[in-house]
Amino acid sequence: MGIPRSAVLLLQDGRFFIGNSFGADGETIGEVCFNTGMTGYQEILTDPSYCRQIVTMTAPHIGNYGVNPDDIESNKIQVAGFVIKEETVNPSNWRSTQSIGDYLRVNKIVGIQKIDTRALTRHIRNNGAMNGIISTIDSDVDSLKQKLKKAPDMTGLDLAKEVTCQNHYTWSSTNQSSNESIQFKIAAIDFGIKFNILRLLESYGCDITVFPANVTSREIMNFNPDGVFLSNGPGDPAAVTYGIKTVKELLGQKPIFGICLGHQILALALGAKTFKMKFGHRGINHPVKNLKTGIVEITSQNHGFAVDLDSLPPSVEPTHVNLNDNTSEGIRCKNVPAFSVQFHPESSPGPHDSRYLFETFIQMMKE
């Protein structure tokens, strides 16, 4: 591999870190955030919800089990950049086909390693997620500051349009259900959908057609599905005005289930508000209380915006809350068949505590 090339990570507030290049050479800008998961780095890298974000992994060693063609959540790496403490250069796993460093290099993703990721994480926790730039080709901090000034803030950014599919398509995996087992016809609106959501819906006997984020309610109603799914995705939910309009027009017409950005868009369509969080929730061990059962579920999360619980109209009730900061984790409509959660019940990576929510959607369509 030769002598490691130096790299710089500069934050918007002037704090900078000097380390070694990790992945491709070059320069990248994005909102710097952190993920507390100790595993699942390949799923994190390929999650469209991380579009335009530089992800910091808090676990000290990344790449232990390598990467493989199966553990992906979209058709490419979605992160803007990757920050780790130390790469495992020689992975050990029978499924591994590539090291994490090679994976990033092949996909032209710029990263940095050998920095104090604990200090970086603490800085973000104290000061909030902010834009940053990683460079392996320019070490002049003043020069990097000028480049960083041109980057837009995450608030107000519609990124769903960057990650959505261009045309509708029918989902099918290698273990797709036989025609005899298909019970429900699903229209999934792709704001940045993860593959494992589609796999799980398929496992419940759903025939899924995925539509672009800008699909109209008329197109959905002409398709005449048994239910509508609103996917996860990146950016500011309030900026996805076309998606909010479509969902508002579908309310009461078809059963609706939303996850992550889909949760926020459903809430906005119902008249609630959303806000930018200080540093968001990103990890695979977030405790969420189910307000109906009282059970605490350990959940996988990835979001930087949240629904304002105080803005929920009387026709909507909260179903789940985050036990770390009491933010919204789920809502349900009282008068129409629609519900959503902020966390990721499909996990990948993460625990399976909340996969019953897919059964809830199935039951809603049956009724």
The residue range of the domain holding 38 is 6-149
Total domain count, the chain: 2
CATH number of domain containing 292: 3.40.50.880
- pLDDT for 175: 54
Which of 95, 124, 149 terminates a domain? The answer is 149
**Same domain, yes or no, for 143 and 164?**
no
**Same domain, yes or no, for 84 and 204?**
no
- pLDDT for 310: 97
**Same domain, yes or no, for 141 and 202?**
no
Which of 149, 178, 202 terminates a domain? The answer is 149
**Same domain, yes or no, for 130 and 271?**
no
In a domain, 155, yes or no: no
Tens digit of each residue's pLDDT, the chain (367 residues)? 567 789 999 999 999 999 999 999 999 999 999 999 999 999 999 999 999 999 999 999 999 999 999 999 999 999 999 999 999 999 999 999 999 999 999 999 999 999 999 999 999 999 999 999 999 999 999 999 999 999 999 999 999 999 999 999 999 875 555 555 789 999 999 999 999 999 999 999 999 999 999 999 999 999 999 999 999 999 999 999 999 999 999 999 999 999 999 999 999 999 999 999 999 999 999 999 999 999 999 999 999 999 999 999 999 999 999 999 999 999 999 999 999 999 999 999 999 999 999 999 999 999 8
In a domain, 1, yes or no: no
- pLDDT for 43: 98
Rounded Cα distance between 273 and 308, Å, is 5
In a domain, 13, yes or no: yes
**Same domain, yes or no, for 182 and 39?**
no
**Same domain, yes or no, for 78 and 205?**
no
Which of 149, 178, 211 terminates a domain? The answer is 149
**Same domain, yes or no, for 91 and 179?**
no
CATH number of domain containing 111: 3.50.30.20
Q: How many residues does the chain have?
A: 367
**Same domain, yes or no, for 362 and 224?**
yes
- pLDDT for 243: 98
- pLDDT for 151: 96
Catalytic entry in 87, 297, 329, 346: 346
**Same domain, yes or no, for 142 and 179?**
no
- The verdict on whether 61 is a catalytic residue reads no
Give per-residue burial for 39-59: e unless 16+ CB within 10 Å, then b.
ebbbbbbbbbbbbbbbbbbbb
In a domain, 323, yes or no: yes
Only one residue has tokens 């969080």, namely 277
- Determine contact, residues 70/199, Cβ cutoff 8 Å: no
In a domain, 95, yes or no: yes
Q: Distances in Å between the alpha carbon of 240 and those of 172, 194, 357?
A: 27, 18, 25
pTM of full prediction above 0.75 = yes
- The verdict on whether 344 is a catalytic residue reads yes
In a domain, 273, yes or no: yes
Catalytic entry in 123, 303, 320, 344: 344
Quick one: which of 84, 81, 146, 74 has its CA closest to 114?
A: 84
Catalytic entry in 33, 206, 260, 333: 260
**φ and ψ of 262, to 5 deg:** -60, -35
**Same domain, yes or no, for 192 and 302?**
yes
